[in-house]
Chains A and B, each alone.
Chain A
Amino acid sequence: DGGITQSPKYLFRKEGQNVTLSCEQNLNHDAMYWYRQDPGQGLRLIYYSQIVNDFQKGDIAEGYSVSREKKESFPLTVTSAQKNPTAFYLCASGQGATTGELFFGEGSRLTVL
């Protein structure tokens, strides 16, 4: 089936550790995104990529890093520099800026112990 797969669904981390969240899509979309969702707030953009080997910072990129080595993959690393990493992380993909819908994965919930 076509879609976006995020893993793991749940992740626990000790303070000071880096963790990487996986996002894979088989929709052949050019653009991929990472959003963070906190209770009572709208989604906030962390990073996005329009094309392989290129990505841009979103509104809250500090403490996060990404790579885009393959069209179908856009992993997010939450580093120890992220001061409040406990959140629900959502990956999305889309075909273009103004023509297509945005499709989301099921999300990854990160809890820092």
Chain B
Amino acid sequence: KQEVTQIPAALSVPEGENLVLNCSFTDSAIYNLQWFRQDPGKGLTSLLLIQSSQREQTSGRLNASLDKSSGRSTLYIAASQPGDSATYLCAVDASNDYKLSFGAGTTVTVRA
């Protein structure tokens, strides 16, 4: 069974600092990996989707890398802002059967 881990569970940084969020998974035979953002009491918003054939994806200040062989993905957020405060979750599609395995998330606080 695919296990997805996100460490640390919480992170606090001053505004302007770059954020590095980690996601690890146990089965490297994945089809894709997706990063989401969740604000308190809200649903999930898709940030980046990395297909298994890709090494990274970028969108604005966000960059996500994927290393299947080591079972890791990293989400980088450049020049963090207070509006980036949220919980960030990663999810892995490992079985091509329409199911994703989610990590518990990293809650980020960006201090003004």
A: which residues have CB within 8 A of B?
4, 6, 31, 33, 35, 40-45, 48, 50, 58, 88, 90, 92, 94, 96-98, 100-107, 109
Any chain A CB within 8 A of the CB of B11?
Answer: no
A102 touches which of B34, B41, B101 (Cβ 8 Å): B34
- Number of inter-chain CB pairs below 8 Å: 64
Residue of B nearest to A58 (CB): B99
Could you tell me if B98 and A104 are in contact, using CB atoms closer than 8 angstroms?
no
Given A40-B104, A41-B104, A42-B104, CB of A97 within 8 Å of CB of B98: yes
Per-residue 0/1 for B97-111: is the Cβ within 8 Å of any A Cβ (1 yes, 0 no)?
111111111000000
Chain B residues touching A, range:
20 to 34
B102 touches which of A40, A42, A50, A100 (Cβ 8 Å): A42
B: which residues have CB within 8 A of A?
4, 9, 31-32, 34, 36, 41-46, 49, 51, 89, 91, 93, 96-105
Which residues of the partner chain B approach A6 to less than 8 Å between Cβ atoms? 43
Closest 7 CB pairs of A and B: A42-B102, A104-B43, A104-B44, A43-B102, A98-B31, A106-B43, A42-B104
